[in-house]
Copies of this chain bind each other. A is one copy, B any other.
Amino acid sequence: MRKARLEAFSDGVIAIIITIMVLEIKVPHGQKLTDLLHLLPIFLSYLLSFIYLGIYWNNHHHMLHVATHVTGAILWANLHLLFWLSLVPFATGWVGENHFAPLPLAVYGIVLLMSAIAYYILQSLIIQNEGSDSLLAKAVGKDWKGKLSPVLYLLAIGAAFFSTWISGSLYIFAALIWLIPDRRIENMLKKEDRE
């Protein structure tokens, strides 16, 4: 019951964040191809952020799926995560409007880094609540993706001031490692079903 409402609220906030980002792609006044091409950096940064938010929604979905209890601390850790995610449209718009300039790219990374930390806190609280023998604890396991991502964000933040290409590539790479299907929880669930 309480979990259902936490999920519904998170779904709502993430759905709105993902959708208002598109408002940054402002309708051009002209009607030529150059008017459209001018929007390319904004479109690309939108695409990347859409994928990031999709990853968060997906992971959030899986994590809550195996959680059984929701405490007050978990509610606040979840709001903390949503706070940082809510800044993604701002960072995305800034990156896009400035054609991947150094400082916007670094700020983008800071928002991603803080989101990753917030997610880690939420995950830790849920695991602590569920117990180390829980389905979630086993499923998360060593969580190499969760540990590698913040390192990549840190590298990308630093790289932004030397090469925006390297920085941008690191953000793309950090997204791609999450797109590789994460069969951990799915496998655990199938195993449980079989037993």
Which A residues are closer than 8 A to B by beta carbons?
A: 1-2, 5, 7-9, 11-20, 22-25, 27-29, 31-33, 36, 47, 50, 54, 57-58, 61, 65, 71-73, 75-76, 79, 82-83, 86-87, 89-90, 93-94, 97-98, 101-104, 107, 179, 181-183, 186
Further 10 A-B residue pairs, CB within 8 A, beyond A23-B23, A72-B182 = A5-B61, A5-B65, A8-B11, A9-B14, A19-B86, A22-B86, A25-B90, A31-B98, A50-B83, A73-B181
Closest beta carbon of chain B to A134's beta carbon, Å: 17
Q: Are B1 and A65 in contact (CB-based, < 8 A)?
A: yes
Assembled-state Cα–Cα distance A83/B24 (Å): 15
Q: Are B2 and A61 in contact (CB-based, < 8 A)?
A: yes
Main secondary structure of the interface of A (DSSP, over half): helix
Q: Are B86 and A186 in contact (CB-based, < 8 A)?
A: no
Q: Are A27 and B76 in contact (CB-based, < 8 A)?
A: no
Assembled-state Cα–Cα distance A87/B90 (Å): 18
